Amino acid sequence: MQSRPNVAIIGAGMAGAAASARFAGAGLDVTLFDKSRGAGGRMATRRLDGGVFDHGAQYFRARGARFADAVQRWQEAGLVAVWDADHHDDDAHPRFVGTPSMNAPVKALIGDLPVHTGNPVTALHAEGSRWRVAAEGAPDTLFDGVLIAIPSNQARTLAASAGWNPAALAKERYAPCLTLMLGYPEPVELPASMAIEDETIAWIADNSSKPDRPLPRGESDMHCVVIHATPDWSRTHLEQDMQEVIGHLYARYVGMTGIMDEPIHGDMHRWRYAQVTDPLGEPCLITPDQRLAACGDWCLGPRVEAAFDSGEAAAAALLERL
């Protein structure tokens, strides 16, 4: 006989990870599911041909007390560090990055909890007062509660499969982003980061300037640069052939920076749900009479801290019912 409640979390980004730590701390059995190959969500790191690219979230700040406490613990454990200490746009709230990769704090929150990756959850099926998760390779387990911690556009379909159709999930809340990753055999002359007012490119980052990132120290290592297109340009070119997109972004990048060095690596990532444009304004959603909730940065705003706060709030709301 099961001795304590168990919960499934769909999504192993910051929101899902924060919720998982809250559930585990309360003594629940927790299982996470993510369609990607590993945990992190948009705090992802791509490892390619000897290079390490933070191709999603570039950094985060800690403004609230609870998230600041978590960041301090991670910093003491060597899981986060300040990026570019000479960057003075907000001295009171420095820019942090995960070390040695952006998803290090997410992995720390999840710890040893089981994470099923590589297959998307396609539906949630109610069996009495409990839930079955439909995904290839999913365990044959009934869960007392389910937390959907993925972008709202994706959460909408999954919630509907469970017969839950809140109006808040019907609204479009994200802008896309096309991300170009360039690898060079030698360092290039770039600022640590460049926020740009341009129709095509919004952001250029010298990824190798981040602390504890592999700098060139061997034949297989690359100097890594990450380029984010603007939301409008990304939306217009989202379904365009990726080689054409790479060509357009690379030409604009060269024109802006004057860097003529030839990269030895170039790759593109298509983020369909990159940045929150219209947050809900509430920390989470929860069904009134079922043990089903949804959370993410789309609830509170386009920040890593917002995802953390939303995940904790959703976990607390479900715990009241469990």
pLDDT at 214: 65
Do 181 and 162 lie in one domain? The reply is no
Domain that holds residue 87: 6-41+61-171+279-321
Top-confidence residue, 145 or 213:
145
Residue where the block lists tokens 């690379």? 250
Do 270 and 232 lie in one domain? The reply is yes
Q: What's the Cα-to-Cα distance from 6 to each of 16, 85, 123, 208, rounded to whole Å?
A: 15, 43, 18, 41
Q: CB count, 10 Å around CB of 9? A: 33
Cβ-contact 222, 183 below 8 angstroms: yes
For 18, counting Cβ atoms within 10 Å of its Cβ (0-12 exposed, 13-18 middle, 19+ buried), the class is buried
Top-confidence residue, 20 or 196:
20
For residues 209 and 263, give the distance between their C-alpha atoms in angstroms, rounded to a whole number: 17
Residue 102 pLDDT level (bands cut at 50, 70, 90): very high
Please list the alpha-helical segments (H only) found in 198-283: 231-237, 242-257
Do 187 and 305 lie in one domain? The reply is no
Do 120 and 245 lie in one domain? The reply is no
Cβ-contact 18, 303 below 8 angstroms: no
Please list the alpha-helical segments (H only) found in the chain: 14-25, 65-76, 104-110, 152-161, 231-237, 242-257, 297-300, 304-321
Do 188 and 250 lie in one domain? The reply is yes
Residue 155 lies in a domain: yes
Domain harbouring 87, CATH code = 3.50.50.60
Do 143 and 184 lie in one domain? The reply is no
Do 132 and 180 lie in one domain? The reply is no
- Single pTM value for the model: 0.93
Q: Which of 2-6, 78-82, 303-307 has the lowest mean pLDDT?
A: 2-6
Q: Which of 49-58, 59-68, 163-172, 310-319 has the lowest mean pLDDT?
A: 49-58
- DSSP 8-state secondary structure symbol assigned to residue 52: E
Q: Which of 45-54, 131-140, 200-209, 280-289 has the lowest mean pLDDT?
A: 45-54
Residue 86 pLDDT level (bands cut at 50, 70, 90): low
* pLDDT tens per residue across span 216-233: 444 457 899 999 999 999
- Long-range CB contacts (< 8 A, 24+ apart) of 74-80? 74/98, 74/104, 74/105, 74/108, 77/108, 79/104, 79/105, 79/108, 80/104, 80/105
* Residue 198 pLDDT > 90: yes
pLDDT at 299: 98
Average pLDDT of the chain is 92
